[in-house]
Structure 1
Amino acid sequence: MTNTAIVAYDIVDNKKRRKVFRCLQAWQLSCQYSLFECQLSQKQSEELLLQLCALIDISQDKLLFVWLDQQRPAKALTKRALINFKKPANYIK
């Protein structure tokens, strides 16, 4: 069974950024710059996270892996939409 997840990154070094991008592309994930939509099983997500963590520097780089809630439909927001988050959203499965 696969679930939808979002992987995003902000990596300082260009060489490391390309390696992370290529790693995610190897998984054939749909992407928009440094934001990837994934359909992964639990085992696949664990493997992907291990690969990504081996490529980044945790003291400088940022990596976000978020499972989407299957009970709620995904909603796209435009630049004009007002977003008023009081704290970060965390989805834990």
Structure 2
Amino acid sequence: MAARNERLYIVTYDIADQKRWRRVFRVMEAYGHWLQLSVFQCRLTARRRAALAMRLDREIKPAEDHVLILDVGPADEVDLRVESLGKSFQAIVREARVI
């Protein structure tokens, strides 16, 4: 049921300070899959998306940093098409994890 309420987001950021960049990176690791240096793909419910935005807002300096959260659409309905130049791109496959 929760998966039906998830949306796919691409989050990218430009952080001016290396220390803040590392903190933002650690926040993002908790919410999505790392694609490139400052780019993550996330499947999030509305609640987790709001929590992510709040955590990022606490870490950045608005006058110096920039974060984009791109809503791609319903996670299970999006046919994500990626053109990759250079290194190969591996699409992220949703897998169940037992913890």
Normalising by the residue count of structure 2, what TM-score does the alignment of the two structures yield?
Answer: 0.72
Q: Deviations over 1:42-83 (max 9, x none)?
A: 010000000001100111111000110346522212449xxx
SS in 2 for 1:67: strand
Pairing of 1:1-93 with structure 2 (within 5 A) = 1-27=5-31, 29-31=32-34, 32-70=36-74, 73-79=79-85
Q: Determine the C-alpha separation between the residues in 2 that align with 1:72 and 1:3.
A: 9
Size of the aligned set, in residue pairs, is: 79
Normalising by the residue count of structure 1, what TM-score does the alignment of the two structures yield?
Answer: 0.76
Letter in 2 for 1:20: V
SS in 2 for 1:69: strand
| Structure 2 unaligned spans of 5+ | 87-99
**CA, structure 1 residues 2+69, in 2 after alignment: closer, same or farther (shift >3 Å)?**
closer
Letter in 2 for 1:26: A
**CA, structure 1 residues 72+24, in 2 after alignment: closer, same or farther (shift >3 Å)?**
closer
Note the aligned Cα RMSD (angstroms).
1.7
Give every structure 1 segment of 4 or more consecutive aligned residues whose post-TM-superposition deviation is greater than 2 Å: 69-73, 77-80
